[in-house]
Amino acid sequence: MKLQLPLLSVAAAVVLALTVSGCGGSAEAGPADPSAQVKELRYQGSANNVTFPELAADLGYLGDIKLNWVGNTTSGPQDIQSAATNQTDFGGAFSGAVVKLIEAGSPVKAVTNYYGSDQKTFSGYYVKADSDIKGPKDLIGKKVAVNTLGAHHEAVINTWLTKNGLNQDEIKQVQLVPLAPNDTEEAIRRGQVDVGTLGGVLQDRAIEAGGLRSLFSDVELFGTFAGGQIVFRTDFIQKNPDTTRTFTTGVAKAIKWAAETPREEVIARFAKIIEGRGRNESTANLKFWKSPGVPDAGVIKDSDFTKWEAWLNSSGIVKGDLTPSKYYTNDYNGLAGGSADTATTSTAKKG
């Protein structure tokens, strides 16, 4: 059964998060005794998919830390709001959503990247093969399907249009339509939208069926890049530094393992995890998995945030220059900065 956590507004998330952290002030220092730190982390998953924290746990990279699944997330912004308001202990979302939550006053900090795009795994923006839409200016007055507003796909589209010379008045005439990813391909084919965002298995199936044409992709726009981060509340980090370090480094190792392990072995591992957790899920789509899409074992860079600066400014989320150090830390990723703690496949549990 798919469990749902209650959705909270950004304002409610901020108020509750500030209450948790003592009105936004610095939390008290965490316990010196590692045994007193939290060892069970509440989180939201994704149906029919394996997240990198889940993979890390299965590979034995989380040590004595246990994951407690409380349901499946409905979106990245909802996932990090749940973490900010102490409904879960960590959550992941698009970089711009992380910035928005922090700029609104919520005390969270990103500790590792967890998704992105490369030449094998990316988001594409598709039209019907016979569409008159050939370039950016052709989108003026047209409908574009995205999975949710204010997130990755809106930022990519806005950035693509801006880089190709459209001004904000013209961009505002491009109508973004929130649509479930499973419905996007059919909406394009029926003409209900002019352009649709497709990735992963949905992208593969649509291309295989024919009749669609790629307008552009996020990897064509940026090259290989990280798209989103996992965050913890800052008070959680301060009170549980060893747990945070073990978790973050474990996730980094899982990303590296997935990048360096033969594809067939990764898919088999994912299938074992899904079949063993008893959530009434399907493993049928795993055959379409190609790569983790996350560069540099999850190590976060300033550019993971600054690449969205123009969109964040035009959306009113940020005024002026970004200060990326407000949003993330690599201090808990043992694979950052040439750490000696770089063992991956040699320390993985055999499954």
Residue 139 to residues 125, 134, 221, 239, Cα–Cα distance (Å): 12, 9, 17, 49
Kindly state the average pLDDT of the residues 69-90.
94
Distance CA 332, CA 89 (A): 16
pLDDT at 27 over 90: no
Domain holding 165, by residue range, is 123-222
Whether 2 is covered by a domain: the verdict is no
| Residue at 180 is within a domain | yes
69 lies in the same domain as 180: no
Output DSSP code: residue 29. P
Compute CA distances 46 → 90, 233, 270, 281, whole Å: 14, 21, 13, 10
Verify that 140 and 212 share a domain, yes or no: yes
Q: Yes or no: say if 52 and 251 are a contact pair by the CB < 8 Å rule.
A: yes
Closest CA to 40 of 189, 247, 228: 247
Residues 103 and 140 in one domain: no
Q: Is the same domain home to 198 and 339?
A: no
171 and 38 in a common domain:
no
For residue 260 the two structure tokens come to 């360096």
Cβ-contact 266, 59 below 8 angstroms: no
Is residue 294 situated within a structural domain? yes
Q: Pick the more confident residue, 202 or 301.
A: 301
Structure-block tokens of residue 319: 């005024």
Same structural domain, 36 and 92: yes
Q: Do 230 and 339 have their domain in common? A: yes
pLDDT in tens, 289-340: 999 999 999 999 999 999 999 999 998 999 989 999 999 999 999 999 744 3
As a whole number, mean pLDDT of residues 47-52 equals 93
Q: Could you report the per-residue pLDDT of 140-178, keeping only the tens digit for each?
A: 999 999 988 888 999 999 999 999 999 999 999 999 999
Contacts of 237 (CB under 8 A, 6+ apart): 109, 111, 244, 332
The CATH number given to whatever domain includes residue 141 is 3.40.190.10
Q: Given 222, 243, 274, which residue is the final one in a domain? A: 222
Q: Is residue 62 part of a domain?
A: yes
Residue 5 has pLDDT above 80, yes or no: no
Q: Are strands 225-233 and 175-178 parallel, antiparallel or unpaired?
A: unpaired
Which of 10-19, 113-122, 204-213 bottoms out in mean pLDDT, i.e. has the lowest? 10-19
Domain termination residue (choose one: 178, 197, 222): 222
Residues 215 and 184 in one domain: yes
Tokens standing for 148? 């949710």
Can you tell me the distance from the alpha carbon of 152 to that of 204, in angstroms, rounded to the nearest whole number? 20
Average the pLDDT over 66-78 and give the result: 92
Banded pLDDT at 74 (limits 50, 70, 90): confident
| pLDDT at position 351 | 66
What pLDDT does residue 1 have? 36
- What is the mean predicted confidence (pLDDT) over 93-117? 96
| Residue recorded with tokens 């970004």 | 322
Percent of the chain with pLDDT over 90: 77
Q: Which residue has the higher pLDDT, 200 or 206?
A: 206
Backbone angles phi, psi at 239, to 5 degrees: -85, -20
The tokens for 283 are: 């493993």
Kindly state whether residue 161 falls inside one of the protein's structural domains: yes
HSE at residue 254, side-chain half, CA atoms within 13 A, is 26
Q: Which two tokens stand for residue 112?
A: 């590792």
Asked whether residue 38 falls in the same domain as residue 109, the answer is yes
Outline where 213-334 has alpha helix (H).
218-222, 234-239, 241-260, 263-276, 303-306, 309-314
Q: 139 and 259: one domain?
A: no
pLDDT digits (tens, 9 = 90+) for 291-301: 999 999 999 99
pLDDT tier at 348, thresholds 50, 70, 90: low
Classify residue 234: in a domain, yes or no. Answer: yes
Q: What are phi and psi of 215, to 5 degrees?
A: -85, -45
Q: Average pLDDT, stretch 81-94?
A: 97
Q: Which of 222, 250, 283 is the last residue of a domain?
A: 222
Please report whether residue 4 resides in a domain.
no
Q: CA–CA separation, 312 vs 181, rounded Å?
A: 24
Domain count, the chain: 2
> Average pLDDT, stretch 92-115?
96
Spatial separation of the C-alpha atoms in residues 108 and 17, rounded to whole Å: 9
Question: Does 102 have pLDDT greater than 60?
Answer: yes
212 and 148 share a domain? yes
Quick one: 249 and 343 in the same domain? yes
Residue 153: helix, strand or coil by DSSP? helix
Position 5 in a domain: no
Closest residue by Cα to residue 258 from 45, 42, 54: 54
- Rounded to an integer, what distance in angstroms lies between the CA atom of residue 114 and that of residue 290? 15
